[in-house]
Structure 1
């Protein structure tokens, strides 16, 4: 299946109260990660009314994205139409899809757009099916289990996480198809 694998970095955990600060995505075509077909941008966070939001230090500590880094970045209102166009009619994949899709759904609704991909697939769920006896299925553990490596500085940055998630998706679907 041809899909778009995506990942967000945010100011917090609530799609209603927090904001997106980075979007990364890559296409998987015919079981191959197409690194040239990617989408990557920082996003200046804004609240529901369009007001500027600051990145809390706790969130910055996780992903390393500072207020200075997003100062001149476009807002979600500016990047969401082009991201939705990049996704097109593809299915989407994310590690813990509920989190990322929740932010996309709320963000799209705020800006009069519709988040309605062909399907939403989750590598956490695929990992649980492929490794039913394992307890941990976070991206770091899954990468280790599958022998995948993050690029230096890539963990907890959207495109770094997307690269590993896309490779994990390909391997997990191959493993499950072989069962």
Structure 2
């Protein structure tokens, strides 16, 4: 199944109050495996960049002023998204901004039926634990040392790895164990099928004590002083 893992960066927290999406990064996965296809774009928000938001993602108004408006990249983005499920961390936030941008240019909103929220998956799998992207990367041993600031494509790449773990993991250890078992089984069959030299069949040897041996044992037991079994 084809899925798109995506993340956005914005000018703030509320698209309905005038905040805009300024970056989107998308990763294509098929069968929980990254295909190498990505979509990444910056957008000119046609407004200022609050300092609080810039501290999070490092995107200044001057940098974004040279980038295309969302309307200029919408067709390419929608073609990449296709009709696949869309996976995001705290997905309601990203869907809100993406659909707000589509609404502004008169395009149909993306159905929430396509939304997969990894925060909800994390809460179900690890109730009571921290479920931020950083916390989940730590939990699953995913290297995020290169994540100095938030970035849509970088965060989508990290989330793709987290998503695999949240949905069962790659189970590499089990796969190796299965291969090892098959190899061992084949070796056993190979040995058993190898012709062995013929040997004479020996009759079974008796393993019971003789009357003489039983007598000596009784004498030995009787000579033990203060035996525990005689108390």
Determine if the TM-score, normalized by the shorter chain, exceeds 0.5.
Answer: yes
Gaps of 5+ in 2: 170-231
Question: Is residue 95 of structure 2 the alignment partner of residue 94 of structure 1?
Answer: no
Higher normalized helix content (fraction of residues):
2
Q: How does 1:26-175 map to 2 (within 5 A)?
A: 26-34=27-35, 36-45=36-45, 52-117=46-111, 119-134=114-129, 136-150=130-144, 152-153=146-147, 155-174=149-168
- Distance (Å, rounded) in 2 between the aligned partners of 1:151 and 1:79: 31
What is the CA-CA distance between 1:170 and the residue it aligns to?
1.2
Name the structure 2 match of 1:48: none
Equivalenced residue count is: 167
2:54 and 2:104 map into 1 onto residues whose CA distance is: 24
Which string of whole-angstrom CA distances, capped at 9 and with x for unpartnered residues, describes residues 52-100 of structure 1? 2011111000111112221211111112221111100101000000000
The equivalent of 1:8 in structure 2 is 8
Contact 2:56 2:149 in 1 (8 A): no
Q: Flag the structure with larger Rg.
A: 2
1:20 maps to what in 2? 21
Q: Offset of 1:151 from its aligned partner? A: 5.8
- 1:20-58 residue CA offsets vs partner (Å, 9 max, x unmatched): 111100011111122x2100111111xxxxxx2011111
Conserved? CA contact 1:26–1:37, under 8 Å? yes
- Please give the TM-score of this superposition, normalised by the length of structure 2: 0.69
Contact 1:150-1:161 at 8 Å conserved across structures: no
Give the drift of 1:119. 1.2
Q: Which runs of 4+ in 1 moved over 2 A?
A: 115-118
Tell me the secondary structure at the aligned position of residue 168 of structure 2.
Answer: helix
Q: CA deviation at 1:155?
A: 4.3
User: What's the RMSD between the two structures over aligned residues?
Assistant: 1.5
Identify the structure with the greater strand proportion. Answer: 1
TM-score normalised over the length of structure 1: 0.87
The superposition leaves residues 139-178 of structure 1 with CA deviations (integer Å, 9 ceiling, x where unpaired) of 1111111111226246410011000111111111115xxx
Is 1:10–1:20's contact at 8 Å kept on the other side of the alignment?
A: yes
